Amino acid sequence: MKRAVWESRSSGLLAALCTALLLAACAPAATNVADPLAQMRQPDGAVVWQQEYRFVPPPAPWQLIDLDEDDYSIACMKLCSEGYPCQSTLAYAEEPFGYSLDFEERQAEFFKRFLWASRVTFAPPELRKVTVLGQDGLEAVTVGTEPVLRHKVRCKILFARRGERVVAFYFTQWRSEEKSFDPADEADFDRFAASFGFLQPSFYERLFPQAP
């Protein structure tokens, strides 16, 4: 009798377990994915990165990417369900393209090199003075076109200052020529840039503590 009761209970447990597994399979995938930044995450949701930067990363499905290059310090990518070329990237760059310490000159130098390998032709950027990292900065917004593949890319670059050096935040959103851009991704970028801060003086500030 005991055996029969156990079998009955165990099959009930099995059914409940199967139901739970089925329900779990229906749950949004994001809830099952471990937070890749969990060890760097602070109680308020911000991330401390290499004891140097503090920022709130954009929410999933944005993913931190390793570009294995020096052009970016931190970068995230978001892919669309419709696939290539539909994607957005955002990044912080400690050494943005160009040389000048003047924002307007730097943006002109920057767009000579930015996305150079993608063969993009940029429209003249719209420039706007903004506050970035609590200081005067420059926002440059433009759309580039790639005429062979018929792709377009919306770019927003925020030039900012860390000490005397120029740093920058990049946003790009790629679409096919006939598709419209999605402002939600750009809003994620704006929140990322607004949340960004430095936890210590930069290498250059430590090397030249008396610099202007």
Partner 1 sequence: MEGHQRNLYLYERLNARVAGVSRDQVDTLKYWAEDLGLSFPVFSNSIGHIGIWFETLEAGYPMFSRKTVIIDKWGVIRYMQAGHPDYRAILTLLKQLHEEEATR
Q: Is residue 116 part of the contact set for partner 1 (CB under 8 A)? A: no
Smallest gap from residue 31 Cβ to partner 1 (A): 41
Q: Does 52 bind partner 1 (CB under 8 A)?
A: no
Residue 185-204 contact track with partner 1, rule CB under 8 A, x = bound: ------------------xx
Among 52, 102, 109, 182, binds partner 1 (CB under 8 A): 109
- Tell me the number of residues near partner 1 by CB under 8 A: 13
Residue 112 per-residue DSSP state: H
163 binds partner 1 (CB under 8 A): no
Expressed in angstroms, the distance from the first to the final Cα of the chain is 87
- Minimum distance from residue 69 beta carbon to partner 1 (Å): 10
Contacts 24+ apart (CB under 8 A), 126-134: 130/158, 132/158, 132/159, 132/160, 132/169, 132/193, 133/160, 133/161, 133/162, 133/167, 133/196, 133/197, 133/198
Q: Which of 34, 47, 81, 65 is nearest to 179 (CA)?
A: 81
Q: How far is the CB of 99 from partner 1 (least distance, A)?
A: 5
For residue 125, give the nearest of 109, 108, 105 by alpha carbon. Answer: 108
Q: Output 58 or 98, the one with its CB closest to partner 1.
A: 98
Q: Which of 101, 77, 118, 80 is nearest to 162 (CA)?
A: 101
Among residues 7, 35, 82, 95, the one that binds partner 1 under rule CB under 8 A = 95
Residues lying near partner 1 in the complex (CB under 8 A) are found at 70, 95, 97-99, 101, 109, 112-113, 203-204, 207-208
